[in-house]
Structure 1
Amino acid sequence: MFAAVAALLGAVLMVLDSAAAGADPVGAGSYSTTAPGPAPSGCADLSTDPRHWVTADAPSGAVPTNDWWSSILWKRTNCAYGEPLFAQPLGFRAQSAGLGVSYSTKPTISGGAKGVGEYHFAYQEDFVVGVAGLAAPEVKVDDWSDWTVSPYLGDGTHTLRATIGSGLPFAYFRATGGDAQIRTAAGPVDVWSASGSMIGYTVDGHDYVAFAPKGATWSVSGSTLTSSLAGKDYFSVAVLPTTPSTSAADREALAAEYAEYAYAEVTGTAVSYRYDEADSTVTTTYRFTTTALEGSANGTVAALMPHQWRHLSDGSPLPQSYVSSRGPLKVLCGVTSFSTSMVFHGVLPEVPAVADSAGADAATLQAYLNAEQADPARQVSDDTYWTGKGLGRAARLAEIADQTGNAEVRDAALSVIRSRLTDWFTASPGETGHLFAYDGKWGTLIGYPASYGSDQELNDHHFHYGYFIAAAATLARFDPVWADADHYGGMVDLLIRDADNYDRADKRFPYLRDFDIYAGHDWASGHGSFAAGNNQESSSEGMNFDNALIQWGTATGNKAVRDAGVYLYTTQAAAIEDYWFDAHDQVYPSGFPHKEVGMVWSNGGAYSTWFSSAPEQIQGINLLPVTGGHLYLGDDPAYVRANYREMLDQAGRNRPGIWPDIWYEYLALGDGDAALADFRADSSLTSEEGESKAHTFHWIRNLAALGTVDTTVTADSPLTAVFVKNGARTYVAANTTGEDATVRFSDGTTVQAPAGRTVTAGAHIWSGGSAPGNTGSTPTPTPTPTPTPTGTPTPPATPTPTPTPTSSGSTGSSPTLYPSADGTLTGTAGPAGRATVASADGVNHDGSPYKPVTFTASGLDLTYAGGTTRFDLSVDAGQAVADGVQIQVSYDCLGSGKWDRVETYRYFATDPLPGWEHYTDAAGLLSASGAPCDLRNGTVQAKVWNALGNAPSTLGTGDLSALRLPYT
């Protein structure tokens, strides 16, 4: 395998920028060196010189595209200054006199509760930073790094160079040819602090501080601040995370704290990531390089976006936060880096066929499959996008047919994939279609025929190529020779590198072209030349690309590609949860009436798409394609059900009228039984272009059997998933390699995964699939005993009963206690009931019980068995926003009235949707005191309270909640 990887790398590192017309080989494949169709275009001579607006000092190699700042380099509308740039928290607009600055805190919301609507934190200029006398005819780009850019303005006499970046409250400037100037948009400058080189001022309710070199001063004249900079050329400006209600003392304190880092100019940023297979986590580190212009400080101030601060693994944010179109930004001061830790929950080639083995449903599935044998791809157009959609359709059919033993349909689908990929991956001189062409000036690989601006605007490469790569991953399982470096593996790798080059040393393509490293998600537009910045609507097609990298990298043994896919997938799933779905109800501004946006813009979001105003498609564009790599959509089954209900409400229907198959498949992630019933009632539906009835029925029927995704358990292999239904877990492990594997799940379950098989254990024991070349008897997985299940069943499942603890000795197994309406914890699950958890009264009570609901068990004789307390509480905040339920479990070893062990768990942020949610021990310990102890006539007490919020919540009692003790 190592030899194959080395050969692959050798093949793809061939020099691509050949000047000669024709085709350059990559293994058995090839690409054209002459585009048979349109190339990227824009103002001036960009089509032939993409570095037209790049200075001589800028980095060499391929120019970045698809970024938040692309419009100042790739000009298409404003050919002098580009469009506004939204960096969070600040916005910027280049202009003749300098660089305009905006801190937009007041959103504009259009549309009502029904139909198309959007919100934007539009660019609203507070002031312009410039140089006295500057009259720059255009803006150029002098430097860039992973999430910063340096715009350059000059007129031959005066120059202004800025460094701005995502998450930077500071903007750093270099000025020559005149005094530094800050000119406010309206009225005289409102100065609230002036102390030598530092001046604090307010514009439109926003507090800023400007820092000149030591020894310099600022003068104020009307609407203009001016400084000679004491003969030096540097200064910085920062926006403070204050509000109009911030006290003068707190504002001054923040200004003083920021002043410590005002002269540590950020000169570079870089991300690094690590996928730890053993505990299935992705650790991402964001690093800042700074140059100390004065003093010795080397840290800076960073404003973290929600998907970052939710998973922050180091640092303590300030209590203040910034307003942004991405929700509240939390602030770290004095950092040279910060890290996040995210759990990767795994992906699958396809959901397993646990319910398709016999009976009428098995016959129905085979009939659906057989109907596809003649044309598995059903391609509707010949361009890269629709070719990709057809390939994706065929790949799903191949996976299902293989699982269920339908070799004829499987081989027909694989044949289509092989022939079409081989055709596209082979370019001949003079050929005009079904090929890829490398443009060495732009550093991009373009497929022809192109579509949706994938050629002239470099739009959507990750969308289009993700389908190609995913289909190639399926083919690689069955035909590893086709996928090796000597054949077509090198062409697949080029598609990966074009859309999201994972190798910094490879200068032929920009690093992670389509992925905004700081924002945590892709941008679809190559140039981003819009007043609202860049945009993306189909987040799920971006995830299709990320999943494709995981599948391809795993099947071919390329860990660099696999790990890049895991990083992109895990990060983007977190970003989608916040910015497309606002699952925590903290991102969309108050007054925006939707639970999802079809499109994310740099400065907002829109309940709309580029192609449709139908709610089924506005919301549905973020659901397709439905694959085993899209299980993240089911991480919160309650949200799935709520999102489905909103779509129906918006459409004014009882069932979806457009893309019903996509919606039933999505609903199956939240309620498989309901989705199956809807499909059976609507089985004559017309499939979405990338779907088939065979896949739709397979997906829904099997999820109805498997249940919902259980995110509390992970595995040490990337191709895994865990499902739970009625309290019983099913563990799924897919092995797409040629060697047998043992997969270990985090709760201790072990599954033997033979080469080329998908196996399940637990509630369903099943094995299927024959790739690569394994056609013998079906092996049986060897699971370990299934632990007491947790998860999110609907309605809440009755926890598995265990023997009742008594005062006479050990129960012989880990006891489970159930909260009762009378305030006791009992060993027998009583009838379902409800207890009211009082409001936190708007005060933060994190870690400190406040008006708790208390449940107690006494007279217990139990022996500590190791491990930790487990719990599964059904909680509901109704429509209340920002409640956070918390539990504390205390142990009194001898019934003496003194708590020997106290465990406080992190609170659970409930959603504002009626219906039970599950608060489990997966939230993690907040604190623990004392050592675990044996109980002799001991007492256990559980306190449940609201750590946050202004409204009461409800706790399910009886068989709705359970506390599992680490005792025998």
Structure 2
Amino acid sequence: MRNRSGPRTIAAVAAAAIVGTALPLLVTAPAGAEPVGAGSYTTALPPGAALPTACGDIATNPRKHLTANAPAGPVPTNDWWSSLVYKRTECAFSDNLMAHPFSFDTVAGGLGVDYATTPTITGTPTTVGEYHFQYGADFTIGVAGLNATESKVDGWTDWTVSPYWSDGTRTLRATIGHGSPFVHARATGGNALLSFASAPAVWDRTGSRIGFTVDGHSYVAWAPSGAQWTTSGGSISSNLGGKDYFSVAVLPTTAGSSDADRVSLANAFGPYAHNHLTGTAVSWDYDESASTVRATYRFTTEAREGTGTGTVVALYPHQSQNLAGGNPIAQTYLSPRGPMKVLVGASSFTTDTRYHGVLPEVPAVAMTGGDLATLNGYLDQAAAGDPLAGFGNDTYWTGKALGRAARLAEIADQVGRTDVRDKMLGAIRGRLTDWFTASAGKSERVFYYDRNWGTLIGYPASYGSDTDLNDHHFHYGYYIAAAATLAKFDPAWAADSQYGGMVDLLIRDANNYDRGDTKFPFLRDFDIFAGHDWAAGHGAFFAGNNQESSSEGMNFANALIQWGQATGDTAVRDAGLYIYTTQASAIQNYWFDPDDQAFPAGFEHSTVGMVWGDGGAYATWFTADPEKIHGINMLPITGGSLYLGHDQDYIDRNVAEIVRNSGSQVPRSWADIIWSFQALSDPDAALAAFRANSGYTVEEGESRAHTFHWLRNLSALGQVDTGVTADHPLHAVFTKGGARTYVATNLGASDLTVRFSDGTTLTVPPGKTATTGAHNWSGGGTVPGDPGDPGDPTDPPVTSPVLALVSPGKLTTAGGTGAVSDSIAAAGGANHDGTPANATVYQACGITGTHDPSRQTKFALRLDSGTAVANGVQARISYDPTGSGTYPRTETYHYFATDPVAGWETYTQDRGRAAQTGAPVNLNNGCVRLEVWSAIGTAPTALRTSATVAEGTRSVVEIPYTVSTR
């Protein structure tokens, strides 16, 4: 859920080109900050920050609506039943709860029950519109005389919940859940009572059970053996024979069903009526050789009578389509997601979902000649300023900025534009490091852990990510994806001892993959049974919970696959694979509905912008523009977006509706997103549209460079081919003109042979993306296990201790080729004294030299802040003795306050050292790194680089070594 503002203009400003691996200056965490490797989060609420808000004191007491029996640990949020515990609009009970086939509500007298089968449809085929299977109680399950002041939560499992009522004399506990046609109830203090607006039609009385119909829906209630049900007007009641349990089920009957049909189903369900559900749990496994994700959904029951096991379960289409074994009965339930098939007597069921692969990015198979020149021009434009400038400072818009930079880094790396790649990586590194570092009093770009809620909130928050716990998977997916790109080139930064632990915290907050972890709830945002995320933390809506941007949920899942693969964390990778494959199937069925099963007749759209618990909406939270209603379930376009290309006929239908509803052949907004989606079916048409309309307004998280790269290369590759898979998670297959192109990426340290399901094999060098035809593209940079970056072999050897700064990012004895200047990013009004933030980095490697204790490090940096007042630039010089990627010797110098007069000034070591670590040692193929950043100030500062000796005013570093050879 997101109440977005309108489009934002991305104003480019001068920025730093950051390269190399930046290791942090280790400092003691301030009070209230919890260290995680080199990073940290705060446990003290930042100044001015908001907590989750709801009825009463829930901000500090989220367990106030739980009973003493409820599980210890974090309270789940973002679920179908969250309004029971996270009471936002209904302070005593809950909003409507959509479990399917049931929908429920909680009231003073107990549990309202409905089987909604008639949709309400609004809007027209060309305007915003919605369909809802609205809750309207068929009856209420309760206890005679029950008049509770609130409903509480007595327990929960992976897809069930147990609401609880008490008025001091009578109690009711019910267990309800996704896919369960049973309500299992426990009652004390009075007779079990089913209350109706008018007398139901009774069609069966057999022993302790009663069958009845209300509003065209058939139900059966079972009392304990020997007990009876009594009817009186608008009620059915039982004393339960002195016991406390009973169950009610809805049957999968239709208007044409006979009483005999109903009795037959009641007989089939009966053996499981008193097997009360006490637990549900999912587990998953990635079968790499078969490229299949196997998920098993288990039910634990307690027999109130006899010793039986098993239950009855109704499967959503995304489950039944991938069901491995089991024999559903002929009858199905109607639901807002389409027909639900029914398994009778199941203790578990398993789905096998084929996985068709993801890539860090589509390969640059067509980037030659004029197309390469065009791409390079777009890359130059993207790299002209600060890559992160113009975006909001909150978690969502920071994420969008990071996502854009990561896409640019990936494609720049493929075509050898290491200058652009490293600038993007540097911007990502600097911004993530800033967010992942807490300090006393820091109120912006900081993560706060709330122990009461078991959640990690980034401030500034946005779209209710703090007050409603909305959208954490949307926001944090961008951070994790950018970190995954950075991890490929800078594995040291991604190590748990550095900032990898902070990335893992974001993963576990949004969708904790570790059931044993008590810091965060298990899979917070992902609805295990529904197969997709929910966005709203509280779910407090008449239509149940909702999810708008399914594609941003997929961005999170893809980010887990990429991060897990880049860092060797298979637990994270496999959780990403489970969410990715399951949700891809759910999206195809419930957001796109290509087979016309989910959307009811009369809802004449090819897609919904939002899925609600009880239906869907051709709408968004922020606009009625057709392009954005469609596009919000396409962006961001990444190498993880290939699932959108699995049904080319549907893509054509979707795009045709955009044209029809907008009245324009050319998208009026988000053209790049629409074209990128269209290219998965008709890449030539999408590319032609781009070329003909290249002056389009770029979507905030996109760039012309990335869109052109995507369109041009898909034009060469063709469409995604789902007929072939591979035994490696980073793969894809494309087909054009009947010919297949096989693609795989290797982030490992040695050659990888990828085997495709049709017998094709592809050998991929370390750190590369390969395609059939012996084409290799860079795709990994420095890979895990490598000793570090030994330097570019084309760089001139370091033969002197005097090293000049040369753009981009080099220290070299060869000098420059003509003076330019790099822009040192402004401090933004923050104080970064002593800690690099958005630093520009220069490096030389392959240095062999003997330390001379009679000398000291010297430098002369030529700076100009123009007329800006109160700017201060700071430098740190670090030494890696063996080129291992670890810098034990660091020297941080006091910052230099620039004057407000245009013209070069000189910052030298004479400012004095502010801090140092380690002792100087000899260099053996070692590295020297210079980091320059703004410690204070609100304006960027120019740093002169690449000047020739003849031009003078060079920026140089002199190291205290006698250099022998490289």
Partner of 1:328: 339
The 8 Å contact of residues 101 and 128 in structure 1, kept in 2 or not, is answered as: yes
Pairing 1:523–2:534 present? yes
Verify: 1:369 aligned to 2:379, yes or no.
Answer: yes
CA contact (8 A) 1:550 1:566 kept: yes
Q: 1:770 offset after TM fit, Å?
A: 5.7
Q: 1:194 aligns with which of 169, 181, 205?
A: 205
Shift of 1:379: 4.1
State the 4+ residue runs in structure 1 displaced beyond 6 angstroms: 774-778
Distance of 2:182 and 2:297 partners within structure 1: 17
Q: Is residue 509 from structure 1 mapped to residue 554 from structure 2 by the alignment? A: no
Report matched runs for 1:506-585 at 5 Å. 506-585=517-596
Which letter does structure 1 place at the counterpart of 2:375? L
> Secondary structure in 1 aligned to 2:772?
strand
Counterpart code for 2:107: Q
Q: How does 1:591-602 map to 2 (within 5 A)?
A: 591-602=602-613
Whole-Å Cα distance in 2 between the matches of residues 297 and 777 of structure 1?
Answer: 72
Identify if the C-alpha distance between structure 1 residues 776 and 752 changes in structure 2 by more than 3 Å, giving closer, same or farther: farther
Per the alignment, in what secondary structure is the counterpart of residue 452 of structure 2?
coil
Please state how far the C-alpha of 1:776 moved relative to its aligned partner. 8.7
User: Do residues 627 (structure 1) and 648 (structure 2) align?
Assistant: no
Q: Distance in 1 between matches of 2:38 and 2:657?
A: 50
Aligned twin of 2:411: 400
User: Which residue is 2:953 aligned to?
Assistant: none
Query: 2:747 — aligned with what?
Result: 736
- Counterpart of 1:82 in structure 2 is 94
C-alpha contact 1:741 1:752 (8 A) present in aligned 2:
yes
Using the alignment, how far apart are the partners of 2:648 and 2:522 within structure 1? Answer: 35
Q: 2:909 is matched with which residue?
A: none
Whole-angstrom CA distance in 2 between matches of 1:776 and 1:300? 64
Q: In structure 2, which of residues 291, 296, 301 is the aligned counterpart of residue 290 of structure 1?
A: 301
Structure index of larger Rg: 2
Is the aligned partner of 1:116 residue 2:128? yes
Cα separation, 2, equivalents of 1:189 and 1:608: 38
- Could you tell me how far apart the structure 2 residues matched to 1:313 and 1:777 are? 54
1:840 alignment counterpart: none
Amino acid at match of 2:141: V
Distance of 2:322 and 2:776 partners within structure 1: 35
Structure 2 residue aligned with 1:445: 456
Q: Which has the higher contact order (CA 8 A, sep 6+)?
A: 2
Cα deviation digits, residues 830-874 of structure 1 (max 9, x gap): xxxxxxxxxxxxxxxxxxxxxxxxxxxxxxxxxxxxxxxxxxxxx
- Aligned pairs for 1:468-479 (under 5 A) are 468-479=479-490
C-alpha distance in 1 between matches for 2:325 and 2:310: 15
Q: Is the CA contact 2:768–2:776 (under 8 Å) kept in the aligned structure 1? A: no
Aligned letter for 1:208? Y
Who is 2:163 aligned against? Answer: 151
Per the alignment, residue 691 of structure 1 pairs with: 702
Hey, what's the Cα distance between the residues in 2 that align with 1:324 and 1:765?
A: 49
Query: Is the contact between residue 649 and residue 681 of structure 2 (CA under 8 Å) also seen in structure 1?
Result: yes
Q: Which residues in structure 2 correspond to 1:7-18 (within 5 Å)?
A: none
Tell whether the 8 Å contact from 1:541 to 1:625 is kept in structure 2 after alignment. yes
2:75 match: 63
CA deviation profile, 1:284-317 (whole Å, cap 9, x unmatched)? 1110000001122211000000000001001100
How far has the Cα of 1:527 moved from its partner? 0.3
Q: Secondary structure at the match of 2:491?
A: coil
1:168 is aligned to 2:177:
no
3-state DSSP of counterpart to 1:260? helix
Kept after mapping to 1: 8 A contact 2:746/2:780: no
Does the 8 A contact of 2:360 with 2:779 survive in 1? no
| Equivalent AA in structure 1 for residue 83 of structure 2 | S
Match of 2:191 among 179, 189, 198: 179
The 3-state SS of whatever aligns with 1:569 is helix
The 2-side partners of 1:218 and 1:193 are apart by 11
Spell out, residue by residue over 1:234-254, the C-alpha distance to the aligned partner (whole angstroms, 9 max, x if none): 000000000120122221110
Q: 2:106 aligns with which of 53, 73, 94?
A: 94
Partner of 1:254: 265
Once the two structures are superposed, residues 608-637 of structure 1 have per-residue CA deviations (whole angstroms, 9 ceiling, x without a partner) of: 000000000001000000000010000111
In 1, Cα distance between the equivalents of 2:215 and 2:56?
A: 37
Q: Is the 8 A contact 1:465 1:499 kept in 2?
A: yes
User: Alpha-carbon deviation of 1:642?
Assistant: 1.1
How many pairs does the alignment contain?
Answer: 757
- 1:757 paired residue number: 768
CA RMSD of aligned residues (A): 1.4
Distance in 2 of aligned mates of 1:431 and 1:328: 52
8 A Cα contact 1:405 1:769, kept in partner? no
Question: Aligned partners of 1:21 and 1:222: how far apart in 2?
Answer: 66
> Residue 135 of structure 1 aligns to a residue in which SS?
coil
Corresponding position of 1:891: none
Q: Does structure 2 conserve the Cα–Cα contact (< 8 Å) formed by 1:354 and 1:766?
A: no
Matched with 2:34 is 24
Match of 1:128 in 2: 140
Q: How many Å separate the matches in 1 of 2:572 and 2:70?
A: 28
1:480-879 to structure 2, matched below 5 A, reads 480-762=491-773, 765-769=775-779, 771-772=781-782, 773=789
Question: Aligned partners of 1:174, 1:660: CA distance in 2, in Å?
Answer: 56
SS in 1 for 2:494: coil
Q: 1:567 to 1:770 in 2, by over 3 A?
A: closer
Could you say which residue in structure 1 is the equivalent of 2:65? 53
Q: Which residue of 2 aligns with 1:950?
A: none
Aligned-partner residue type, residue 63 of structure 1: V
Distance in 2, Cα, partners of 1:314 & 1:455: 43
Q: Residues of 2 paired with 1:285 and 1:584: CA distance?
A: 26
Q: Matched residues in 2 for 1:777 and 1:35: separation?
A: 49
Shift of 1:323: 0.6
- Aligned counterparts, 1:165-314, within 5 A: 165-185=177-197, 187-314=198-325
Pair 1:44 & 2:44 matched: no
Q: CA deviation at 1:378?
A: 4.0
Q: 1:68 to 1:372 in 2, by over 3 A?
A: same
The Cα of 1:775 is off from its aligned counterpart by: 8.5
Q: What amino acid sits opposite 1:215 in the alignment?
A: G
* Equivalent position SS for 1:421: helix
Could you give the per-residue CA deviations for residues 796-835 of structure 1, whole angstroms, max 9, x where no partner exists? xxxxxxxxxxxxxxxxxxxxxxxxxxxxxxxxxxxxxxxx
Q: Structure 2: how far apart are the matches of 1:540 and 1:646?
A: 19
Amino acid at match of 1:461: H
* 1:614 partner letter: D
**Residue 411 of structure 1: aligned partner:** 422
Give the AA of the match of 1:387: T
CA contact (8 A) 1:307 1:574 kept: yes
Matched residue SS, 1:553: helix
Does 2:387 correspond to 1:388? no
Q: How does the TM-score come out when normalised to structure 2? A: 0.77
